[in-house]
Amino acid sequence: MCLWGWNSVKPFVPMVLTVVLLTGCGAQAQQANQVQVFEQRMKALEQRQQELEAQLEQTQKERAELAKRIEELQAAQQAIQERQAAFEQNVEKWATDMTTALEQTQKAVAQRPKPNCKDPGKALAEAVERLNGLPSPAMLQTLADIAFREYDACMRAAGR
């Protein structure tokens, strides 16, 4: 007979079965733990996906608002360019009108007869000659004022 018989192994059978059972339960528990970790990771991924979708939606809204704002700015820029073109056109017309008016005024002045006004210097010299002597400085100033006033009045009367 064998030294190891059923009777000698019989007391260890419950222990061996317990170890086998516990090993199986441990493996099952480890597998269940892995499933739980996997489920947690999936939930985290789903949550992250929802966050990213919300960010994408917000980004799309912002992009749409920016596109609208760009269109508004482009319309405003177009309006400014149109106003600037109209302003430049008005300035050109005004410059042409003013040039024409100036030319007409110059022609009209040139066509007027030359006034027959006495030169103020000659008028002063004649007045001094009539005095028969040298006038005082105050008298000379008065004669000069009179000569220039007469010349100015003559030129104004002639329209110059």
Q: How far is CA 56 from the centre of its chain?
A: 29
Give the span between the Cα atoms of 122 and 147, in whole angstroms.
9
Per-residue confidence (pLDDT) for residue 131, from 0 to 100:
80
pLDDT digits (tens, 9 = 90+) for 53-73: 999 999 999 999 999 999 999
Per-residue confidence (pLDDT) for residue 106, from 0 to 100:
86
Lowest mean pLDDT among 51-55, 133-137, 142-146: 133-137
Predicted TM-score (pTM) of the model is: 0.41
pLDDT digits (tens, 9 = 90+) for 71-115: 999 999 999 999 999 999 999 999 999 999 999 988 887 787 777
Percent residues over pLDDT 70 in the chain: 82
Q: What is the mean pLDDT of residues 43-59?
A: 93
Give the span between the Cα atoms of 128 and 134, in whole angstroms.
7
Give the span between the Cα atoms of 18 and 24, in whole angstroms.
10
Percent residues over pLDDT 90 in the chain: 38
